[in-house]
Amino acid sequence: ASSRAAASPIYGPYLSLPKEVRSLALHVLSFMSPLSTSMLLALTRCACQSAEHAAEHAAPIAFVVEEAEARGALATQEALSFYLTLAFKAVPSAPIEAAAAAAALAAAPPPADATATPWQVAVRAIRRAVLRHGEAAERAVRAFCGALEQGSAAAEGAEAAARARLLLSALSWRERDG
């Protein structure tokens, strides 16, 4: 038997439910007020899971987080924290080239039949949060990305720093468009 620390993360029954039931569960969460920190942590773990399922779960969970923040059931900084975690923790082994391509696509809405990557979902949500909350949200994102760029000694750090630069470039539209 393995110790609890070495065991795989426990996601609860949510991830093993059929898609329709997961959708209903998320719909119920959209009525919770406030959305607790422990619930947000559980949603974050589900959204940032393995590469094979992350894209399937990231967008609907991000939608619930965004809705909760919009109606005041979740603090803006907690929503931004979720989006940044999604951008930097979901499928962390994805090649930087793929993240760069996704950053370029993040400005445009996805085709109706396409499944957005967790990176695309996160960048779009961060951009919407910056639009809603202005400079305060943008400063928080830039500070986070700046800290990642400063601490890029290890290979993991180098990838995080590269993603931080990509996220900052995705936010540069505010500078160009005013």
Residue 11 has pLDDT above 70, yes or no: no
Mean pLDDT of the chain, nearest integer = 77
- 78 in helix, strand or coil? helix
Q: Where is pLDDT greater, at 49 or 138?
A: 138
Out of 4-8, 30-34, 46-50, the most confident range is: 30-34
Residue 99 has pLDDT above 80, yes or no: no
Res. 176 pLDDT band, cuts 50 70 90: very low
138-162 b/e (C-beta count within 10 Å ≥ 16 → b): bebbbebbeebbeebeeeeeebbbb
Tokens of 149: 């760029």
Report the pLDDT value the prediction gives residue 1, as an integer from 0 to 100.
34
pTM of the predicted model, to two decimals? 0.77
